[in-house]
Amino acid sequence: VKNQLEGKVGKTFDVFTAVEFKTQVVAGTNYFIKVHVGNDEFMHLRVFRSLPHENKPLSLHSYQSSKAKHDELTYF
């Protein structure tokens, strides 16, 4: 989903490392992921994974920018 995020925010990330995640089961799975994007900057991503029989790629549903390493990863 890195390319999807870069397209939405209009910039590229040299660093893109997941450091924490939570899941929520729906009609598929929502992943809430804390991602280190360089320096002291973090972003929280909400990524949706559809059910296997739907055969769809992962999709970036939404994101929160300007997060810090200590910010709690919550459902959004």
Secondary structure of residue 19 in the 3-state scheme: strand
Domain-embedded: residue 75: no
Domain-embedded: residue 20: yes
For position 25, which CATH number holds?
3.10.450.10
Domain-embedded: residue 22: yes
d(CA 19, CA 22): 11
The pLDDT of residue 50: 96
The pLDDT of residue 60: 97
pLDDT, tens digit, 9 for 90 and up, residues 25-49: 999 999 999 999 999 999 999 999 9
- pTM comes to 0.91
Domain-embedded: residue 33: yes
Contacts for 52-55: CB closer than 8 Å, 24+ residues apart: 54/28
pLDDT, tens digit, 9 for 90 and up, residues 2-23: 999 999 999 999 999 999 999 9
Domain-embedded: residue 12: yes
